[in-house]
Each structure stands twice: as structure tokens, then as C-alpha cells.
Amino acid sequence: AQSVTQPDIHITVSEGASLELRCNYSYGATPYLFWYVQSPGQGLQLLLKYFSGDTLVQGIKGFEAEFKRSQSSFNLRKPSVHWSDAAEYFCAVPEGYSSASKIIFGSGTRLSIRP
Amino acid sequence: NAGVMQNPRHLVRRRGQEARLRCSPMKGHSHVYWYRQLPEEGLKFMVYLQKENIIDESGMPKERFSAEFPKEGPSILRIQQVVRGDSAAYFCASGASGLYNEQFFGPGTRLTVL
């Protein structure tokens, strides 16, 4: 069965520092992969998605992620974080390829920003 | 072009009462998904509906929970005889038909059971 693992529960970085959030997936074929962000008390916003093609995906708010099949990873990166990036980040994979597919979420990584 | 709408945003119920959560999908979307987020956890799939049909309810608790998406009006997630363990954020997402499409999430309803 498909699954997503986010090994870091909580990460704190200084404002202006670089960021990498880890995500590992388990999937029988080439997966679709997503990163969502959830600000406190808010819903989920899609940061970026990987369907196929270029393994380096650009997203909104200056985020990018790289799909590495050999490592079963889809880590999220940002070269310089801003205080407004403090939020919960979820890596996710749809169960299948159709529009009927439910999304399987990782447990999330909470990002705190040190002034 | 309004996004996915959910109401109420916050709902407080006492044990044994009923909770009704509403979701209006984005215009043109015929698929609705409900997810539950327990405190300090990720989102877990509950149910997937299309108009007047439940397609996949594999994530729904066997008792007290039901969902519908009528021909007219919003999708409703209904929880009967709520217990404290039902306290969570409930998110609705909507999507369109065809090959895999992105699911757009609503702001959620935060249910607190006293």
C-alpha cells in the first residue's frame, strides 16, 4: 500500500537560512507527489506537485522539491526562509492515478522560524 | 471564483448531540472528499462522493458517521451522538472528473466535543 513518511516532526531554522524538509514514499509505480502547507487554524494550500517529467519541481512562495526515485524521496527545499513560512508542511501521495483517488498524507513537519 | 466553502468553521457540541458539517465544492467540481485531522496528526481520508453517490467510504467509522452529496446543495458530513474522540478538524476537498486532478481544500470545520 502507498505510504508517505515525514521523519522530522518539528524543525526550527533561523530566518534567512535554507530549509529542507524530508519526505519518503512507498509506491508500486511512478507516484504523483504533493507538498501542502497548513498555516495555524487554516486549511491546506498546495505548494507544488510532481506528476512526471522534470524531477525538480518549482512551486509557490519560493519552494521547490526534487523527486529522487533511487532514494524514494521528495524533499522540499527553500533557499531562504521568511518568518511567514512558519507552518505545518505535509507531503502527500494520491492512492492512484485517477480523479477518484484519495490522498494519503504524511504526519507533517512543523516548521518554526527563529528571528 | 469562490473556492471550497465549509461551514461552520467552528462547531461546539456536547457529548451525545449531533454534528452536521457542510461543504460546498468549487464551481464545476462534482467530486467531494472528506478528511479528518486529529490533533497533532496528518489528514486521514474518510469518504469520497459524487453527486448522489458514495464512491468510497473506506475511511469512515462504521457507526455514527454518514455523508451525503445531494443533487442540489452542499455535501453534508453527519456525526450522530458525538463523543470526545470526535473532536478534530474536518476538511472537505473538491475535484473535477477526468485524469487525476488536484484536490482543492476548504478551510475546515473544527469540531469540539465537550
CB spacing of B45 vs A42 below 8 angstroms: no
Q: Which pLDDT score, from 0 to 100, does residue A51 have?
A: 85
Q: Edge-to-edge, what's the strand order for the sheet holding B65-68?
A: B5-7, B19-24, B75-79, B65-68
Q: Positive or negative, the Cα torsion across B20, B25, B31, B36?
A: negative
Q: Which pLDDT score, from 0 to 100, does residue A35 have?
A: 96
pLDDT in tens, B49-85: 998 899 999 999 989 999 999 999 999 999 999 999 9
- Chain B residue numbers with beta carbons less than 8 Å from the beta carbon of A43 are 4, 91, 105-108
Of A34-38, A66-70, A93-97, the least confident: A93-97
CB spacing of B48 vs A100 below 8 angstroms: yes
The full length of chain A comes to 115
Chain B closest-CA separation from residue A46 CA (Å):
8
Distance CA B83, CA B70 (A): 27
Strand B53-56, strand B43-50: pairing: antiparallel
- pLDDT surpassing 70 at residue A6: yes
